[in-house]
Structure 1
């Protein structure tokens, strides 16, 4: 029986992965014994399993070159993009190239591991994906050129039976396999030599990367003996301006197209230069840049390489690029850089080499990625010399709560510890999950609810620590967990949680390093712009006078940092005339809240006579909120006052480093609300990429876990989308889908849903909200009793619009009640209706009143049909009044929608005939009301 040999590389494969796969195929096709000397059989079926990739040039090369080559030249070998069970069952050998990391081989897990099948590969988590679970019925050969991973258990390792892992640290793994081809004197065609050369050229940066060794030069000398197609090498090289500009081409283009690509290349390069910022850690200067535009098809890597090669003062460069499928982080460093960018990308889920690496991140926002990068850099440069035991002691008290406790008991803990964002949830004394600060994010949750109903099932890897564990070790684990809280377990403690380390702990260590001169910053970004030009749209000059004259005077005389924040800025930028509310924040480490309030009111009273003020003290004693209402102008000013600030007083706006205002704005859910304006200099600052989102009318989350921490923010997102006519970003859609699939939507409180269903009627097309929630599967998660038929609600909207145009005095229907009637229609019996009412926070009395109205509505429906069928009654207003007099207006409009919808499905003309009795009755009713008022 013919057995299979599967050859594959890592996910998101590059040309070195592709070329090395191809090289192994050519080697084994020549003789299987070259890699498996014990083999006696000669006939095998070869499968090249192409890993999923987002590399545009690799994808184009496979489709336009490799697939046709295998169809014409290698007819007995199959190029496949996914596995089938029959292929797996007949496989004897699996060859893996360019990686040994289990986490980068997800596409071949069904053949690599036992009990992982094609069907459950995407739903099994990490269970059954370790060294002990490797498929014992196959032989695995791994050829790699990357250093071992720091992530415990992620590297495949050789064993005495069926796994052989060979790692040779060099510039390109293709060179290792070409060395074998040369050793066995394998003759190549020009095309074969060219395909192999591609991998070497690309992974060594055309021999310019620091990882290049003599093995690559020897390999290229051997390959060149068979001739190389340099047009293929040129057109598929990332260093080619045409391909770097976003196009993968296999033949020369005209002058005009080349000129366009060159212009595109230069434009991107200029943008990256303009966005450069930098920080210095222990004299290691790291530069960060960013491409804000979404670039689905552009290969930015060569431009990043060009930037570092042609800038004598840049030794470590990190570039962040928005993509439709996630966010790409490209890292490059020069030979004299001590920063291991490969390790940084590996900790974030990617990989590479010491001086060149990249990662595609799908589960974090740009702001979170910047924070991760800073923490990893800080850990690698500074944190490696800070022992964790100097920060966390074994006797540290850990705030925990049992999974079976009530929410009320958790609130008592949060009240005593207001700065705590999460409690660790225990089950049988072991880590089970996290409970967010419920009261701070959603006051509508019942205190009688249970912890298990609202906890986050976050699978955190608990860190085992000892006296030698460093802060760098914990930072790496924090990043890998994708959560800024890490449970700690001291060695020999039987896995009992003995402490936690959080992002706040790391922040405090960072501040110490900033204060003692270990970290410096250099601002050179263009993300600060004058805000004064936008203020001309303010028709009500009182806002300008309050904010930029009176409060500016306050800031200068009292030496305060005062910032304009929130929706106020968004509305000004969008030239909105609705500016009745102004939001500000004040930071002070000198005056108390009461002193500040007194000073602010004194300054304002000199300019404005009629002032009402209300002061609210928040849970934590260092923050107050002062609300000022100017009686004669309908302007409300909300000022948050923070009097305890442990940040150094500096303006770390654009680098990774923190500042009070930056931290404050980072807490917002959406980027559109994260801008701030310094009252003193009237400059607008954009630290979280809000301007791009605002200009493109995109709604983007600031935090990837916002929907998990506070599921009700999902509903707020849809309201924001329609209020400001925004498009939900692809990243935010991805987080929304995750929240649905992870069951987070089920945690939305009924009170929040009820409020949302009332709010949608503030918009012209309220039922569009229903369609959108159905599209994402949200209604099914909220309650399977709710059914949404868009064609029916379209008709209902037409009826409501028609009714509004009648202008019937003092008879406005409660649209929420009509909506509830439509929900009840599908809910079934009384018990299910009461269940639906509870889910939507509708009282049993109200929901049963609506439920019981069904009989009256049904009786009226029969009368309507009889009235229409009797020609003598069609102009009799008294008979209409007799039919409808006992029906509330909500019931009447609901009845009208039901009758017309049933007929719409069969006969449109008949549908409009059946509208007649409602039209006559309501017009008669309107006329009667008009006569009464005259």
Structure 2
């Protein structure tokens, strides 16, 4: 213990909450490093393993003091870690109200109104509290010993469940990596984290299973278990976590009476059940996914009833009809023919149509008609009969605010395939039986089992939502984040909903840099773009036909804006026809599930992730999956994108998707594509960091023949492609200012087998621009001729090598390096690039004029001679150049 009786300087005390866990103790140790000379006051322990570990190994690391030996007037600063609740720091609470004491707080728990008011506070939503303190240690380059690193790392491992809890963040991983670099012992950590259950714990866990009661609360299945013991049994939270995992539960509240006190440990795996908020209501604390409390003078029944009451008010209400409906409703006038109705069903890929009647100009809902009825009508040759003759006119409807139970009751009791959602007499959406089924599956936490199927139908999935605003703050720079907020505010002011969608969101969760921002507006995207541009001082390029716009800022930064729209295809491989739609239908038109994620930007729901089609699941499973089975029929170019994404992200194409690719190749849907569209996708592949795996995959699917039937991924082509990649990587490392477009190099390699006539045919098929056609035909022929000459014999002088290669664009020079089979030729070309290409003479024409030479063809001959001599190493300085120039002018030497 540190002696504090004779100290005159104000003390800095560091403390945490009672029943301290590893994270709390680790946070105190880290704070001690940040506050030199401070004293740690331990509030006591809860875990048996914590006591054993601390007593045997950790005490020497701390400057400790007994609070009973400290006079309050000695304290100048109180540092509190891992809590902001006054009632959780024991006797030290009395210091909070004393004047002259600075209060510093470091905490990662959710902020509450009754939090301690501090002079300095640091709050971050990290999985472990010690993570933020470790970041400060790293920033301030404070030295720590391996033992100290082990204790801090132990705190991270415990509070993140060894990085498995949903509350774990990127920062936790980074802090743990830093501590491992400082010598943290994973063996020690593993021994303490991998807890073995003793016989008492096993018996208690069995009792918890037997006493478990399932409570369906607002559509969520919550488990409460109550047990009692005469003696205290340690690690109740550990047993609750075991129960949660073994039974694959969503949320568990364990209420245990031990001796004369009730202990509660709660765990949740769904954001819909915030156990931290519930436990705080009864005097405990924690996070939304993990919380605990201890209660005196209550019975088990009283506590259980209190938790049930709190669950009813805290668990998020089940979704309403407006949350799960498809909108806008796809409708048809009552007088269209059965054949036209069939076309509508196929166009929108739906199984039922709402039918609008003629009663008044507002077109009230008159009924609905299903695909089965239409098909039977067509079977009986009733193609031209109006659908009003066969539509269902007796049907139930629901209001937008109807809950799931009402939706379920009306669909089942009325045996309706489609349930209209009606507001003030107008159909604003529709709910299908599949929509309802997926909603019920989702709320019973069975989507995990659905995720194990080979490839579930993405289009029927119930959207999953969660707030990712904290993640956005971590991943985005302040400028981008602020811009997204401004977009949401402007959209909200105009009555629109704004979303950032597509690749930007996908790459956000894949931790890849991407500032290509795509915004989708539910409403008029062009009107929004113009309003936002006016406010930002930017300009707009609008495309009324497609409902899209590009906002261009003064610094050249661009944002793409689109009105929510749906595309359908009139025939395979056609360009899409565009119609206005909602965000769900807009996302459904996209190519793969991983590109269907959207983040809401309006202020009231800023940062809410929307996942209609299982995009997050597929990113977790590293799977590329299409949204519907006719995706490649409608747009075969998606096949190229599937392969590109598979190799870029190191994912795998799903089994069903791969089968549909083979079908598209077998049916040869690509023959309907224009050469320009095929080449556009090929160019995207060749622009990838390493396009070779994608090219090999194209061959696996038989798609290289789509580029040209003569291309074969044989050993020779593979070697040249690998050589091209090595050459391009070498060139990048030179950091030369001259741009090199790598796709040109790879395309030159791919088509090297083609003679001039064949190369011209390939260029014409792909509709290449004249400047590119010149490269692949005329300039490539020149490069091949040059390469042939070099292969026959390398020049004996630098100047002759320079004259061979000078004038060729860099792509062709690197192409020659890639395809030559001779190492000496490759070395000679690389020597030109690194040593000769940039050699220049300092003498200019004006220098020759000063020597008395009038402008004439001799000017050029003299300057060329000077350059050759310098290339060959015979001129070193400007003086040397001027002397040779004088001799050439005087005729003492001859200019070549």
Q: Answer yes or no: same fold by TM over 0.5.
A: no
State the structure with more CA Rg: 2
TM-score normalised by structure 1 residue count: 0.40
Structure number with greater CO (CA < 8 Å, separation at least 6) is 1
